[in-house]
Structure 1
């Protein structure tokens, strides 16, 4: 895959956020990876890399204690990883901000300077769900308001936020998010990983906080940050002795779906003009990657960094908040800030899920 550039934030924003977010950001102990080495022709189905996270009760308590309301408030959108650290995927050229530079017609990477994102048509409130919107606050409630949540994690010594959703699974513990919200491509795994379903403004966690037990990504993501495989599955620990599915419910998930069609995308965007305190949604028709750089599909959406990993659903019912997850927020191209792209859930994503639900 071609290299990606980070979603650049204005200097005043970084000056006010970088310092506080780094204070006390200790990654905690890292465990060894477990990966399956398979022939190339079978990699799509069985090439999965696993990381053991907070395995013991003591580990889980340490992670929960780490995330004070102050740390949650200061955590940065994962898109700033390549900006606030010297590392990051491929020497800091990480697309985990959600912005890829636009390839030219020959397929080579264009040398572009990514401008500050300008938002001119977002809506922060909506009286009722719309079937077409590039960004509105979700005020209808329903199941999606409980199953979608914020993710808090530490990577490269700094604290970050993403989005994720519960999915129906055999162990009642699985959430799906972006691969870059779990592992920095060929770089390190995230630490202090915690899911807060139904997150409320000011650090509220009405349904508990769930630490990661085991994390899973596809081999192509782990080795090279392949955007086709920007998917992470996480098996959570219980909270108060209860599985996350038993507390908030779950959404269905589908693999190898028909391409195109209508979709609703959800997340907690945290880069301006959003603040990460509200669930936001986009809705519209899906389209293929116009540059042919990935198998991803695009959705009209002005959500910013922090929404990474938020679920995209087909067959979504706005009245109940139920749907079927078929993708998630992954990246944008630098010449089109109003379209988000999400990976196609094929055989590799199915294998990832099958492994996670048995964890």
Structure 2
């Protein structure tokens, strides 16, 4: 098994070698001041939706371990909506946008997003996140990244997942400010599901819901998810929406597969990467 970064980087994230795919990790080398200076209002306004990669094959997402359920902690938040936010990053000479979600973690500083949001091929830089972002408004400000871990193997949909650890902001952890969405691993695919992301076309949070199902080759799909276009990549794929407003995130929104919405799948590999991030 090959790893893309030195053992030191994996050790910093607490990652154990997974059994089914490679894992990569990165650590931010810039200061908060440098990242704040980079993201001028003009750069933010001109950032484009990150394109989803072409998919030549898909793998069957199936539980490969016991189901794990980690509840969210809404606090003053409105659950999924307040923990959803806009992710900015640079890659290959351009500035890009995706969606991401604050998820339950020991350090209350982890966001979940898609692998193609800065971690396919050349690793991106200048990652920063605005929780509760909606219509250009970032009520809790922007939070810069500290480190990240992601899956490198597998197909373009099932393993399209990454977890980013954020720096504190004025001594505050992002999860203490907006709460956390729940997270789950090794769930069955065929559940009623909810996708939440921020399409660039409207720049506002959007939710669609319906019965998720395994597609022709086993991928996690949902029909009738209109409007979840570019910029929503990396948004949350959720099940068991709670009355308190949070849900169990069991994958991230990839994009379209034919006419259906498609998402990554959180199995044991995702749990290993998340566990390293939450203890970083």
Q: Give the TM-score taking structure 1 as reference length.
A: 0.65
Note if contact 2:186-2:268 (Cα within 8 Å) is conserved in structure 1: yes
- Counterparts in 2 of 1:171 and 1:46: CA distance versus 1, 3 Å: farther
**Gap runs ≥5 in structure 2:** 11-16, 59-76
Q: Report the counterpart of residue 264 of structure 1 in structure 2.
A: 194
Matches within 5 A, 1:250-329: 250-270=180-200, 274-275=201-202, 277-290=203-216, 292=217, 295-300=218-223, 301-302=225-226, 303-317=228-242, 320-329=244-253
Q: Report the counterpart of residue 64 of structure 2 in structure 1.
A: none
Q: Alpha-carbon deviation of 1:344?
A: 1.7
| SS of structure 1 residue aligned to 2:153 | helix
| SS of structure 1 residue aligned to 2:134 | coil
**2:151 equivalent to 1:207:** no
Note if contact 2:90-2:118 (Cα within 8 Å) is conserved in structure 1: no
Q: For the residues of structure 1 that align with 2:128 and 2:104, how far apart are their CA atoms?
A: 19
Task: Provide, for residues 259-314 of structure 1, a one-character-per-residue CA deviation record: whole Å limited to 9, x for no partner.
Answer: 211111100111xxx23x21011100001122x1xx53002212111110000111
Q: Report the counterpart of residue 77 of structure 1 in structure 2.
A: 49
Q: Give the number of aligned pairs.
A: 249
Q: Report the counterpart of residue 84 of structure 1 in structure 2.
A: none
- Counterparts in 2 of 1:102 and 1:34: CA distance versus 1, 3 Å: closer
Q: For the residues of structure 1 that align with 2:215 and 2:29, how far apart are their CA atoms?
A: 37
Q: Report the counterpart of residue 25 of structure 1 in structure 2.
A: none
| SS of structure 2 residue aligned to 1:170 | coil
Higher helix share: 1
Q: Alpha-carbon deviation of 1:258?
A: 1.8
- Give the structure, 1 or 2, with the largest relative contact order (CA under 8 Å, sep 6 or more): 2
Q: Report the counterpart of residue 120 of structure 1 in structure 2.
A: none
Q: Give the TM-score taking structure 2 as reference length.
A: 0.82
Matches within 5 A, 1:191-202: 191-202=125-136
Q: Report the counterpart of residue 128 of structure 1 in structure 2.
A: none
The 4+ residue runs of structure 1 with deviation greater than 4 A are 99-103
Note if contact 1:262-1:284 (Cα within 8 Å) is conserved in structure 2: yes
- Counterparts in 2 of 1:157 and 1:247: CA distance versus 1, 3 Å: same
Matches within 5 A, 1:109-128: none
Q: 2:85 aligns with which of 149, 152, 166?
A: 149
Q: For the residues of structure 2 that align with 1:44 and 1:306, how far apart are their CA atoms?
A: 32
- C-alpha RMSD over aligned residues: 2.3
**2:123 equivalent to 1:189:** yes
- Counterparts in 2 of 1:255 and 1:102: CA distance versus 1, 3 Å: closer
Q: Alpha-carbon deviation of 1:240?
A: 1.4
Q: For the residues of structure 1 that align with 2:183 and 2:6, how far apart are their CA atoms?
A: 25
Q: Report the counterpart of residue 165 of structure 2 in structure 1.
A: 235
Q: Report the counterpart of residue 352 of structure 1 in structure 2.
A: 273
Q: Report the counterpart of residue 14 of structure 1 in structure 2.
A: none
| SS of structure 1 residue aligned to 2:185 | coil
**2:102 equivalent to 1:166:** yes
Q: For the residues of structure 2 that align with 1:316 and 1:347, how far apart are their CA atoms?
A: 22
Q: Report the counterpart of residue 20 of structure 1 in structure 2.
A: none
Note if contact 2:229-2:255 (Cα within 8 Å) is conserved in structure 1: no
**Gap runs ≥5 in structure 1:** 1-31, 37-41, 80-94, 104-140
Note if contact 2:57-2:156 (Cα within 8 Å) is conserved in structure 1: no
Q: For the residues of structure 1 that align with 2:112 and 2:196, how far apart are their CA atoms?
A: 13
